[in-house]
Amino acid sequence: MPAPSSLTRPNRDPAAPQYRGRLAPSPTGLLHLGHAQTFWTAQQRAQQAGGRLVLRNEDLDPDRCRPEFVTAMLEDLHWFGFRWEEGPDCGGPFGPYSQSERRPHYVSAFEALLAAGAIYPCVCSRRDVQRAAQAPHVGDEEPVYPGACRPGADGRFRVGGPERFVPKITSARQSSTARPRVNWRFRVPDCEPISFDDSSQGLQSFVAGRDFGDFVVWRHDDVPSYQLAVTVDDALMHITEVIRGVDLLVSTSRQLLPYRALGWTPPDFHHCPLLTDEAGSRLAKRHDALSLRALRQRGATPAMIRSRPEFAG
């Protein structure tokens, strides 16, 4: 296991602007109009606040992220008119700015959560959770975890003590046959409303254990989860406001819990409406026809795209 890096936030340059926003694309496909709308809102709010904009390359998943999409991401963002002061291409005081290079920070957060008793090992597969009768779906959200591996009131683990499953967190991915397929889950405070004031959507409140359950922070394939990584990165990069889509409102409630467990103050949040296709489905990277690259190839200009009504807000 690598030596843990400090979880103390680096000292911010006192001369730096107070506001710090971020763009956080994942290079699993081409950027589309929905990304552009959300990112444009983030850039405008940073500019209006006289702050700094950070670009973070969320290349966490080695199976889905591809170098050619990183190259396309940078090209498309520059073409559209995005400008950032810190990022993987220009550096900055809180780098590295690619998640694939920030593993020691995630290891340290994992160890802190483990020491605090906030997480536990779970051998349930996603299929196991989906099949559980008491695991209802909440919209498009993942099923609420039914608690099959959750430690009991006596603190005993139902699948063995944590020492049996502490991952050998190394730079190399482990053989799936060498160790049990174990995810690590954050234990949520059942029945507690997790609330936050969103600058776009107003007061939001989701009940832990009902609207969302114990969630994965470290995956069985030795990769930190999205929920853990973005929490750690936003904290250590001193992000003061997170701009993202309304589809992540419940995720925000999840992430507030590791913030609390690690003793960090969360940023402010602004969740934007989603763009949808003609069928009313939210845009995704499978909508190649609405990717920035495809629109540019068809002759669209950034000014033409930004003149669309959805960019007016």
What is the three-class DSSP state of 230? helix
- Residue at token pair 């290891």: 107
Task: Answer yes or no: are the C-beta atoms of 73 and 25 closer than 8 Å.
Answer: yes
What is the three-class DSSP state of 205? strand
Task: Answer yes or no: are the C-beta atoms of 20 and 237 closer than 8 Å.
Answer: yes
Lay out the sheet containing 193-198: strands in order across: 202-207, 193-198, 268-272, 241-245
Task: Answer yes or no: are the C-beta atoms of 91 and 55 closer than 8 Å.
Answer: no
285 catalytic residue (yes or no): yes
Task: Answer yes or no: are the C-beta atoms of 84 and 54 closer than 8 Å.
Answer: yes
Torsional sign, CA 239, 80, 302, 292: negative
285, 293, 296, 306: which is the annotated catalytic residue? 285
Distance CA(180)–CA(177), nearest Å, equals 7
Distance CA(207)–CA(253), nearest Å, equals 9
Catalytic residues: 285
